[in-house]
A and B are shown apart, each in its own frame.
Chain A
Amino acid sequence: MILCRSFHIVYKVIFSLILCFVLLQNGFAQAPSYRILKDTTDTSSIVNKIHTIQEVEVSSIHPLSNVKTGSMGISFDVNELKMLPSLMSDSDPFKSLQYMGGMSQAGEASSNIVVRGGDNDQNLIQLNGCQVENPTHILGLFSVFNPDLIDQMRFIKSGVPAEYGGRLSSVIDVKNFINIPEHLQVTGNIGLIASRMTLKLPITDNISIYAAHRMSYVGTMIIPLLVKIGIDPKLAQNNFEFTDTNFGFNYNIASSTRLSGHFYMGNDIVKIQDNTTFAIEENSSKWGNKLGNIQLSHVFSDKFSMIHYLNFSQFELKSNLNWINALYKIGTSKSLMQYKSDYIYLVDNHKFKGGIELSSNELLPASIKNLSADSLNRFENKSKSSDLGLYLRDEFEYGPLLLNIGFRSNVFVKHPDSNISVSNFADKYYSGFEPRFFSRIMLDNESSLKFSATKHFQYLNRVQLIKIGLPTEIILSSSKYIKPSAMWHFSGGYFKSLFDNEWELSAEAYYKTFSNLLEFKGNLTDLFTVDKIENLLYDGRGYAYGSELMIKKNGEKFNGWINYALGWNYRQFDEINQGKPFLATNDRRHDITLVGMYTVNEKINISASFVYATGCRLNLPRSWFVVDDKVILEYAKYNSFKMPDYHRLDVSISYKLKEIKKIKSEIHFSVYNLYNRANPFQVYFSTKQDEKNKYDYKIKMSYLMPILPSLSWTFKL
């Protein structure tokens, strides 16, 4: 904590000095940005690309990558994603992933990421190699990834290569830029509820540093302003804020050796005060990620290279919850120290990649205190565990056939709660072998078939305590009471490029089986009385299957795509629904995305997106009665109720302003939810008794985001 605070102070000083320096200087060049449509040699800019091996750095995307690539992942043109309409006109490539096939639009103001039936905690989300636990701010309105810093973003929903492990469902790998900029660059965005600024400064030809800061001002500026114009003052007691800070350096030690460091700190607070109209009682949550990464890469020859990573990540979540007339304070935290190394060796047409990953985890699974009764506390001992992963894969191509075969082998050790020693090292250990197989066969130059089969284990799980809008979850590791979660994933598809890649088509199908999934079966009050939290967990299974279709248009003026996904997602717990399989909460039968981006001229870009998803599942009651003066609800078959379908249309337009004193800027105007669809946010029960003693017991739905125009200004020095 002291180290992190020191970094924060140092960063603030550097940021201030650099800002002063910037204001006194003139003439900053803009690094060119362009889309590569064919093989191109660029000698006009000083963008250094030391490494050309794809696994180390990918700074351009091959036009036929969707057809030819050795995985079913998608590497994004980040600049293209920035053109998509987004909330509050702030381009967020990570949020734009929702428009890609395979990722479900989970709901309004939600931070959940659901990929092909997986749960939210089953996604490996990395920033510069560090694991990110909650990748969003303010319940999903913004992501933790600063758009000005993202250089690469990769989304892998199937055929996950062996170098990624620890999660079941998908991989979202985000990397900050590592090139040395030509000149000082200052970029930023000023929006209605949040703003950001980024500095990238070359120190020498081989060293650069960067710093970026974002913050929102909903509670400090917007809500007080709204109170002045007549909004209910009680609502002013609510608060939604976030801040995050990035800083780092890139150092080209030699032509083939690079050292870089990236650091991130983020904080969120969501606070809902009492509101009798909505029967809200005081609930608040604070959470934040702290990430640190040092990486050293070296290219020995055109055949052999390596990268070493030293990663640190910390996540902390604290919630105050007014529950059943008592105030609870719930906390959980996770710290991870990790060393990783990747080695790439090319021989003939084989591309070997292997590596090691050694992690040390420290969890505080749950800290729960009843503030209304001092005697009621529960502080779990810190849970310590270690994880060793070894992987090896070979990608080789024989004619039209490409095979990527590998494996990942894990040993997970749960340490005793007492002092760890050589003789007292492991309370329980698990070993896992994860085969990873991927194949692609080119049917011709522009079409291919792909198939993958992979196995995954997950040793750390986030378990939701109660299903409420605010995050109230605990992090548990595998132990002698909790087995690791596991999944088999089979996926195949046909990929086609037409008319010199002007059109792309794909059709994929998948099947997943899950085992040892966890569900919390108790109430919050149980946490004070049981000896082990594990006794409050159900252990179950699941399976999901479906298909995804995509048509994409790539053009100079117009780009766009249509995605359609059809899927089923089941869970089975012996203690729920009388042991019969039931549809999972995140079962979304149909998921459709339409996106269009049009370049009107060199100044104006317009874009539109339409998303549709079948409503998610809920366990809602079918009747009520009174016992002990309390209204009791009687439930139907588990998750038999489907929420109303979710759909909305967003549009945006951006206009490049005239350059003034070397400052290039754009105005973005967007409208979120153009036709004002009332998409469900939460469902609750309302009991009313009118003056005629008439009882009206209804289920009501709340929605959060009506039509929402917004404006922002992006600038670049």
Chain B
Amino acid sequence: MKRLFFILMLVSIALISCQTDLDYVVRGYTEKIIVEGKIESGQDPIVYLSLNIPLWQEVDSASIINYIIRDAKITISDGEKTEIMTARWDRTNFPPHYYRATSIKGEEGKTYSLVIEKGGYTLYASTTIPYGFAIHDIKSKPTDVDSLRTIELTINAGEDNNKSYRIFSKKKKDNRFIETPVLFNSSLTQSGNIKIDLSPNPEKKDSSFNEGRRFMKGDTVDVKICAIDSVSTMFYKDLSMFSVKGGNIFISEVKPLNSNISYPGFGIWCGQATKTVRYVVQ
């Protein structure tokens, strides 16, 4: 009997996945300037710059600052005005260092170009803030739990359908806007009224983690809707693939991201037409 249990225990090992580190040699690593920039309608443009980190490189909170680019020259232009962005710190974000312009604001329908100069390289990027949209309706829907609701948002996309929408919500107790993962219509044929169910996915650090994708009855929720153009749509659509939690072992690869930053840059320069609405959950 003991032998049988021994054999069975060994059999069980076959059903349990064991893991070990991979002796992985990084080949052909090239340094790239990572750009994350956005300009929202009515807001200042903001750009974050960093470097990509080789996979074999161990980093900590002290050494990671070496990968933040703090000495670049960023020039933004709306076709009429030009401004050099100034550097600032924001310790609540990663990267904690960013660049901001104050005299150029985002306007719907306008195209904004970036020129980034760093270490002898010059990067170029361009984005357009789509024309606006209207918030047609927002309402609560019951769930199987009496104190919790879901929210349904209806957007009137009008006739100009060459854009997609990113939806964020912030419950009263949260410190940040949490995105609702949506399916980006890759053919961009959305027009007229579009209904979207708000289903934020809070992380453990968020105060509303226990409510998950639902909202507390009586809560005050800020909903932010950002319309983005087709180029940004492709980027954020592919970005959603990287939302998988730290390595589902059954997924062996994902497809590389598209970028609208010229070489040797990588990332996104995104124009967003933004509307925010405050709603009390019924």
Contacts and interface: CB of A to CB of B under 8 A. Distances in A.
B249 A279 contact: yes
A699 interface: yes
A218 B8 CA distance: 11
A376 B199 CA distance: 14
B244 interface: yes
A223 interface: yes
Nearest to A523: B241
A376 B15 contact: no
Contacts of A708: 10-11, 13-14
B242 A630 contact: yes
B242 A620 contact: no
Nearest to A472: B250
Interface string B225-266: 000000000001111111111111111111111000000001
B55 interface: yes
A530 B186 contact: yes
Contacts of B145: none
Nearest to B61: A693
Interface stretch (B29-37, B75-83, B97-105, B115-123): B29-37
Contact of A468 (B15, B61, B252, B267): B252
A279 to B, nearest CB: 5
A182 to B, nearest CB: 37
A20 interface: no
Size category of the B interface is 35 or more
Given A620-B24, A700-B20, A626 B60 contact: no
Contact of A694 (B14, B59, B185): B59
B11 to A, nearest CB: 6
Given A623-B54, A630-B239, A695-B58, A470 B246 contact: no
B253 A692 contact: no
Contact of A624 (B53, B199, B251): B53
A104 to B, nearest CB: 18
A633 B249 contact: no
For the side of the interface on A, what is the size category? 35 or more
A222 B17 CA distance: 16
Most chain-A Cβ atoms within 10 A of its Cβ — which of B58, B60, B251, B266? B251
B187 A222 contact: no
A644 B21 CA distance: 12
A664 to B, nearest CB: 24
A467 B250 CA distance: 8
Contact of A625 (B5, B53, B237, B247): B53
Interface string A699-714: 1111111111111000
Contacts of B249: 278-280, 469, 682, 684, 702
Nearest to A629: B94
A226 B12 contact: yes
A697 B55 contact: yes
Interface string A667-705: 000000000001001111111000011111111111111
B53 A623 contact: yes
Contacts of B52: 623-625, 634
A638 to B, nearest CB: 9
Interface in A611-643: 618-637, 640-641
B27 interface: yes
Contacts of A470: 250
A225 interface: yes
Nearest to B256: A635
A283 interface: yes
Contacts of B248: 279-281, 468, 684
B176 to A, nearest CB: 9
Contacts of B9: 226, 229
Interface string A260-293: 0000000000001000001111010000000000
Contacts of B236: 628
A222 B22 contact: no
Contacts of A326: 181
B170 to A, nearest CB: 14
B91 to A, nearest CB: 14
A229 B5 contact: yes
Contacts of A229: 5, 8-9
B19 interface: yes
A526 B239 contact: no
B253 A620 contact: yes
A521 B109 CA distance: 31
B252 A618 contact: yes
A498 interface: no
Contacts of B14: 704-706, 708
Interface in B171-212: 181, 183-187, 195, 197, 199, 201
Interface in B49-90: 50-55, 58-61, 64
A698 B24 CA distance: 9
Nearest to A683: B252
Given A467-B251, A700-B19, A630 B256 contact: no
A254 interface: no
Contacts of A703: 17-20
User: Most chain-B CB neighbours within 10 Å: which of A193, A225, A466, A623?
Assistant: A623
Given A619-B253, A634-B32, A709 B27 contact: no
Contacts of A525: 183-184, 237, 240
A708 B12 CA distance: 9
A683 B201 CA distance: 26
Contacts of B32: 623, 625, 634
B12 A231 contact: yes
A610 interface: no
B59 to A, nearest CB: 5
A353 B132 CA distance: 71
Contacts of B195: 375
A467 B253 contact: yes
Interface in A636-668: 636-637, 640-641, 644
A218 B15 contact: yes
B51 A684 contact: no
A26 interface: no
Given A325-B181, A632-B239, A709-B10, A238 B15 contact: yes
Interface in A570-628: 618-628
Given A637-B28, A695-B64, A701-B20, A684 B183 contact: no
Given A372-B199, A468-B252, 5 more contacts: A229-B8, A528-B183, A623-B55, A640-B27, A684-B247
Interface of A: 192-193, 218, 222-223, 225-226, 229, 231, 235, 238, 240, 272, 278-281, 283, 323-326, 370, 372-373, 375-376, 466-470, 521-523, 525-526, 528-531, 618-637, 640-641, 644, 678, 681-687, 692-711
The 9 closest A-B pairs by CB, nearest first: A684-B247, A693-B61, A694-B60, A623-B52, A685-B247, A468-B250, A469-B250, A625-B34, A684-B249
5 contacts: A324-B244, A623-B55, A644-B23, A700-B21, A704-B17
